[in-house]
C-alpha cells in the first residue's frame, strides 16, 4: 500500500475487552480466555492493517491475555482448591469491573448538557426518527464495532493482482470535510453511501479513518439497527459551518 495514516486510538484495551465480552455474551466472571485472546489478537491485526498507531497498552494487554491463557492450560493440582489458589483471571476481572463502573459513570455525566460545550441553540443530538427507524431499535456504535464493519467489508473487496494507478488524490482532511458537508446537506448518511458504488480499498480505509477521527472529536455519532443492519452516521451537533460548534 502506497499510503500511510497514523491516528491515536482513543479507546483503550479494556474497552476492547468489554466489547468482545458483550459481543460474545460472555459472563464477565467466567471469561473463556482462549476465545477472548484469539479475538483480541485478530482485532489488533485489523488495527495494524489500517496503519493505526497502537498504544503500547494494547500490546501489554495482549501479553497479559496470552499469559493468563497459558496459566489456565496448565494442569490443576488436586489440592489447588484447598490451598485457595486464586483464579488467574481474577485481576483482569477486577480491572474490567472497575473500568466498566467508571465508564458508565462517565457516560452518565457526559449526557448532562454543559453550556458552551454540548449545548447549542437547539437539541445537540440528532433526531433519529427521520429515517423511519424506531429510536429504541437504533444502537450507538463504538470504535471497535466500526472497525469490525470495515473488516467484513474488506473481505468482500475485489483482490486483483494488478498495478493500481493513482487517479484520485485523497487526504484524511478532505474526507472529513466531505463527510461533514454531506451531513450538512442530508442530515444523516449511511456508511455504504459514503463509500460509493465501487469503493476501492483506499477509499474504504480513508472513510473509516475519517469517521474514527470525527467520533474522537465528537462531531458525529454512528448508529445501527440490529447486529448486521446498515450503519448510519448522524452529526453530533446540529449545524456544521466548517468548524466544531463552540470553537472560537
Task: Tell me: pLDDT of 34 over 60.
Answer: yes
Whether the Cβ atoms of residue 123 and residue 235 lie closer than 8 Å to each other: no
DSSP 232: E
Domain ranges of the chain: 1-112, 120-158+166-248
Q: Which residue from 90, 97, 191, 197 is spatially nearest to 150, judged by alpha carbons?
A: 191
Phi, psi of 189 (to 5 degrees): -150, 145
Tell me which residue has cell 493482482.
Answer: 161
Percent of the chain residues past pLDDT 90, beyond the cut: 25
Q: What is the pLDDT of residue 244?
A: 42
- CATH fold label, 120-158+166-248: Arc Repressor Mutant, subunit A (1.10.10)
Q: How many CA atoms lie within 13 A of 190 on its CB side?
A: 11
CA distance 115 to 113: 7
pLDDT tens-digit readout, 166-217: 556 778 899 999 999 999 888 889 888 888 877 777 888 888 889 988 988 8
Q: Which ranges of 80-142 does DSSP label H, i.e. alpha helix?
A: 90-110
Task: Tell me: pLDDT of 66 over 90.
Answer: yes
Per-residue pLDDT band at 106 (split at 50, 70, 90): confident
Model's pTM, two decimal places? 0.69
Q: CB burial class (10 A; 0-12, 13-18, 19+) of residue 182?
A: middle
Longest dimension (CA), the chain: 69
Amino acid at each position: 500500500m502506497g499510503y500511510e495514516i497514523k491516528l491515536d486510538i482513543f479507546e483503550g484495551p479494556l474497552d476492547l475487552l468489554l466489547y468482545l465480552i458483550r459481543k460474545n455474551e460472555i459472563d464477565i466472571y467466567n471469561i473463556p480466555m482462549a476465545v477472548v485472546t484469539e479475538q483480541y489478537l485478530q482485532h489488533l491485526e485489523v488495527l495494524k492493517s489500517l496503519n493505526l498507531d497502537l498504544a503500547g497498552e494494547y500490546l501489554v494487554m495482549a501479553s497479559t491475555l496470552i499469559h493468563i491463557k497459558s496459566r489456565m492450560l496448565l494442569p490443576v493440582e488436586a489440592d489447588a482448591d484447598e490451598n485457595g489458589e486464586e483464579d488467574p483471571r481474577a485481576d483482569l476481572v477486577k480491572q474490567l469491573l472497575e473500568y466498566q463502573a467508571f465508564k458508565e459513570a462517565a457516560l452518565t455525566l457526559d449526557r448532562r448538557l454543559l453550556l458552551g460545550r454540548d449545548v447549542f441553540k437547539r437539541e445537540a443530538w440528532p433526531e433519529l426518527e427521520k429515517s423511519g427507524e424506531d429510536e429504541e431499535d437504533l444502537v450507538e456504535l463504538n470504535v471497535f464495532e466500526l472497525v469490525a464493519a470495515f473488516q467484513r467489508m474488506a473481505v468482500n473487496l475485489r483482490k486483483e493482482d494488478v498495478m493500481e494507478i493513482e487517479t484520485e488524490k485523497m487526504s484524511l482532511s478532505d474526507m472529513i470535510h466531505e463527510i461533514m458537508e454531506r451531513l450538512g446537506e442530508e442530515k444523516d448518511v449511511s456508511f455504504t453511501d459514503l463509500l460509493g458504488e465501487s469503493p476501492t480499498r483506499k477509499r474504504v480505509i480513508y472513510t473509516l479513518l475519517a469517521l474514527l477521527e470525527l467520533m474522537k472529536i465528537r462531531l458525529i455519532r454512528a448508529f445501527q439497527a440490529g447486529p448486521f443492519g446498515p450503519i448510519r452516521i448522524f452529526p453530533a451537533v446540529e449545524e456544521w459551518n466548517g468548524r466544531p460548534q463552540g470553537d472560537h
